[in-house]
Chain A
């Protein structure tokens, strides 16, 4: 009943074009971000860091990346795992070659490398569409993972074939390696997520976002009104891969610490991120966060309830989770293709009009 916009007038287009046009939303988001930066670091412990906050933050970033490509530009990709691997291995090569380089820059550069790889694998999108493209992106998934597995240069000729993150400091505090304190790794990831979520929002509401969506909704008409398909699709691939690359770098450096490519970046990761954006909401930045949190935490919760609570065996529960995830995907595609984010928007719309139902 307090969620109103009466009295909240816009007198210029600048005001009308804000990310959150409603004052109450701005206050709410401000409080959440302040809480995340100022309060959570004092409360965080090892369990919350490794089991909840870091994975949710990192998957959110990957989901935003895929959402730009799939949700906004309409190009379905099953190569997310492969691109995350590129980010991870790029960060490994860069930080081992230049140990003094600031970690923020290392992660950004990894994103840049992934972005270039994304452009290369995005080239076929000019000729092929829809699920043809989805199949083509499988090539990147399998080829990239194979490459990192078989070419010793990528893992610095280590005997195990794995890569492991060396300890690196930011402002004198470790953010990678075994001694990194939870609050530091958390803040490091949070900074990336907040900054890049904002950038994604800005890109998607401006010229780039509109040309992506135009290609998604009706590619031929888009081209005829002047949207250059080559440039637009490649920009989506490039920006999307940049995000996914950063997510991959953080996933390896900060979260896992050591990876083996076939396991950490397999095809199952590609599906996971795709499911995140379907359930969270295609074409929604907020949805990327909701979807990532939901898809990561839901199995954990179910496992805790059935294995911990009822004492079922883990593999039974694992099969059950498969069924639930599959069922939810079909359910959302049938009932609400715009995902949880749309449900949230509808609720807000109802609140605005409350107590009048129409």
Chain B
């Protein structure tokens, strides 16, 4: 287990979040926190509100009630791109890559929040614009090496197989060098081998770059193996919160999520 988990250093905290669409309640009074440097899993059956939770953290949905604290500060109503600038990156359940662009361009777009050169320099492709382009290219190439996707660098991502697209999407999120990385079902639809690769990447990102990770995943084996703490949602409510072992043995969780126990 990661050392940082032991310190009580909290990166993100959601307090009493409630979200509804019209009359439908998606989240009800949810509170939990994410500590610096940990791998935090959010699990729950389909429709439990996991993706909605990520969308709230992203600033894509705006909860009717509750507070979000990030990096020691309370966060007020914010658009998603402002949240991205604060240092929260994300991958999506259904791959949301920019299909018309190459792998390289997708990753470079991930760094857009860090680019500054103004439009006049961009027009002539000289001075700061060119320097900036090369500098970010170097960082992106490091990520390409890390994820071992050198060979598809200049392939339009629409043409890549599913597993590779998932990897490129992780790369795009990594390119932002965020403090918090949200992964929405990073292993959905993968075979065993691809899952193992992806687990390795997630753990390496966490250890090498020290990035805090929150992930949604359905594969319990994976969740229990790689996460430090798990929060369980069901029908928009929080069922349990704790270490994988605690959650595994929680009666409510077993009933609601893993199926009613037979003992």
Contacts and interface: CB of A to CB of B under 8 A. Distances in A.
Assess A/B contact in the complex (Cβ within 8 A): yes
Interface of A: 12-14, 17, 199, 202-203, 205-208, 210-211, 213-214, 216-218, 220-229, 235, 283
Contacts of A283: 100
Interface in B145-161: none
B255 to A, nearest CB: 34
A227 B123 contact: no
**Consensus secondary structure, chain B interface:** helix
Given A202-B122, A223-B80, A225-B113, 7 more contacts: A207-B112, A217-B97, A221-B96, A222-B109, A224-B58, A225-B89, A229-B81
Given A216-B100, A218-B97, A210 B105 contact: yes
A235 B110 CA distance: 19
Contacts of B138: 13
Contact of B124 (A202, A205, A210, A213): A202
A208 B100 contact: no
18 contacts: A12-B134, A17-B137, A202-B125, A206-B133, A207-B112, A208-B119, A210-B109, A211-B109, A213-B98, A213-B105, A217-B98, A217-B99, A218-B97, A218-B99, A223-B60, A223-B79, A223-B80, A225-B109
Contacts of A14: 130, 134
Nearest to B84: A226
A141 B11 CA distance: 51
Nearest to A223: B80
A226 B96 contact: no
B166 interface: no
Contacts, number: 104
Nearest to B113: A226
- Chain B interface size band reads 35 or more
A286 to B, nearest CB: 16
B112 A225 contact: yes
A226 B134 contact: no
B108 interface: yes
A149 B134 CA distance: 50
B101 A210 contact: yes
B81 A218 contact: no
B109 A199 contact: no
B92 interface: yes
B132 to A, nearest CB: 8
A-B pairs with lowest CB-CB distance, top 4: A226-B84, A221-B96, A226-B113, A217-B98
